[in-house]
Amino acid sequence: MLDSEICKDLSARLCGAPIGVCGDGELLAALCACGAENLVFKEGAEGCGALIIAGNMAEFAENAAVPFIIVAQSGEYGERYGCACVQPVEWNEEKLSRLLYALAGEFPVRTVGIDIPEWMCFLPAENSAVAELLERVRAVCAGISKNKHLSALGELTAGTQYWSEVLRVEADFSSGTAKVVCQAKDGIFFDMLSEIAGDKIDGEYSLMRYVRSAAEAKRGYGKVRDALECARVNGYGIVSPAEEDLSYEPPQVVKNGSSVGIKLRASAPTYHVIRVDVSGEVSPIMGDSSQSESLVKNMMSGFENNPEETWNTDVFGKSLRTMVQEGLTAKVSSIQDETRSKLRKAITRMANEGKGGVICIIL
């Protein structure tokens, strides 16, 4: 009997289509006599899902629209037609199984999956370890188009800085898919944490210290997150006071005629977030008229093709992006401290006295 696994894979890939044997009746008879499970062999190429070509190479190989291999003494046919070339021998079950294995290797690869440790799925694509692996995947997978090329995946992590060279490749010829299970080198976990955090994390102590600090920062940001989002959408957001922010004053007895009451008073800071849209521009003068026109023309042409790169154009030792950013920063900082104090007092009075009307005079 032929190798049951390779027969099963070919049968699944062919979906019931026969394998055509062209130009070698003895080979066809040998394949039919072996009782290949779920495989059908026939003479010729018509209606077949794959071909074994042993004669009339040019006629069949050049017009084949399905995976094929060539049976010939000379290996030049394999190089010419980009397929496996098997030398004719006295066929037995073992050699026929190898023949079918070579045929399965000519089927196209559909997908290659890369399996990495779960914790690394949270790393961004620009992370050094992820970027290194992606670069290797692009380089190795560029040469993979058929099942027979999948062996190259075994060298996927060879010579890498962050990845172990010990990996597992799971190839499925029946579906044309493969999965590579990669493992990070020992000690990389803390290196990646340090890269993300921007702080040195080299053990459990420093990790716990950072987590505690990050948890406190998260709680603090949670108080202002909704206000920032509201300011981004509507232009104005308010951070409501939390329970721990309240400051209670001693109760006071209040008399009103014959009636007696009690006054309870509390205060708490609130934070008002206002979105202010600041605009800025730069208009550098660059040489005489002819020089300016030439430079501006080149810049406008570059802006149409690559806007991001145009903003990096160097003028007087600074990029246009830097010049605009500096202009925006200067405007944001132009409001004087006294003016800011007056704005705060005005909003405080509006909130406490319920006054909604505002008259603003800008001098």
Q: Is residue 244 part of a domain?
A: no
**Cα–Cα dist 39/13, whole Å:** 11
Q: What is the pLDDT of residues 133-142, one digit of tens each?
A: 999 999 999 9
pLDDT at 287 over 80: no
- Domain finish residue from 104, 134, 154: 104
pLDDT band at 304 (very low <50, low <70, confident <90, very high): low
Please report the pLDDT score of residue 66 as a whole number.
92
pLDDT confidence of residue 232: 87
Mean pLDDT, residues 261-288: 74
Most confident of 92-101, 196-205, 281-290: 92-101
Q: Could you give the C-alpha distances from 151 to 85, 129, 211, 295, in angstroms and in order?
A: 18, 23, 42, 54
- Which tens digit of pLDDT belongs to each residue from 66-99? 999 999 888 888 888 889 999 988 889 899 999 9
- Cβ atoms of 182 and 170 closer than 8 Å: no
Which is more confidently placed, 9 or 359?
A: 9
- Kindly indicate the confidence band of residue 308, based on its pLDDT and cuts at 50, 70 and 90: low
Q: What's the pLDDT score for residue 55?
A: 76
Q: Facing residues of 305 across strands?
A: none
Place of tokens 């209606």: 47
Structural domain count of the chain: 3
Identify the pLDDT of residue 242.
Answer: 76
Same domain, 150 and 59: no
Considering the domain architecture, whether residues 86 and 167 belong to the same structural domain is answered as no
Q: Residue 329: what pLDDT? A: 76
Whether residue 289 is predicted with pLDDT greater than 70 in this model: the reply is no
Single residue among 189, 216, 239 that ends a domain in this structure? 189
As a whole number, mean pLDDT of residues 105-128 equals 91
Residue 204 falls inside a structural domain: no
The pLDDT confidence band at residue 290, using thresholds 50, 70 and 90, is low
> Is 353 or 306 the better-scoring residue by pLDDT?
353
- Name 31's Cβ contacts closer than 8 Å, sequence gap at least 6: 19, 21, 41, 96
- Comparing 57-71, 79-93, 165-179, 325-339, the range with the smallest average pLDDT is 325-339
Nearest in space to 192 (alpha carbons), one of 133, 239, 234, 252? 133
**Domain co-membership, 10 together with 58:** yes
Q: Is residue 242 part of a domain?
A: no
Q: Which of 159-163, 168-172, 184-188, 356-360 has the lowest mean pLDDT?
A: 356-360
At 356, the pLDDT band (50, 70, 90 cuts) reads: low
pLDDT attached to residue 116: 93
- Residue 306, in any domain of the structure: yes
The two tokens of residue 180 are 């590579």
At 38, which CATH number?
3.40.50.2300
CA distance 132 to 116: 13
Q: What is the mean pLDDT of the chain?
A: 83
| C-alpha distances out from residue 54 to 2, 51, 78, Å | 20, 10, 12
Q: Are residues 92 and 126 in the same domain?
A: no
Question: Do 117 and 176 lie in a common domain?
Answer: yes
Which two tokens mark 16? 């019931």
Which is more confidently placed, 96 or 322? 96
Q: Do 119 and 91 fall into the same domain?
A: no
**Type of residue numbered 100:** L
Which of 141, 164, 189 is the last residue before a domain boundary? 189
- The helix/strand/coil state of 36 is coil
pLDDT of 168 reads 92
Q: Is the pLDDT of residue 197 over 90?
A: no
Q: Buried b vs exposed e over 25-58: b needs ≥16 C-beta within 10 Å?
A: eebbebbeebebeebbbeeebeebbbbbbbeebe
Lowest mean pLDDT among 59-68, 174-183, 238-247, 320-329: 320-329
Asked whether residue 53 is assigned to any structural domain, the reply reads yes
Q: Which pLDDT score, from 0 to 100, does residue 104 have?
A: 92
Sorted by sequence, the CB contacts under 8 Å of residue 336 that are 6+ apart come out as none
Q: Choose the most confident range, by mean pLDDT, from 18-32, 285-299, 335-349.
A: 18-32
Residues contacting 75, CB < 8 A, separation 6+: 85
Q: Is the pLDDT of residue 122 over 80?
A: yes
pLDDT of residue 183: 92
Q: Indicate if the pLDDT at residue 221 is higher than 90.
A: no
* pLDDT at residue 218, as a whole number: 86
**Domain coverage including residue 121:** 111-189
Q: In this structure, is residue 197 part of a structural domain?
A: no
**Low-confidence winner among 205-214, 216-225, 345-354 (lowest mean pLDDT):** 345-354
Same-domain check for residues 138 and 97: no
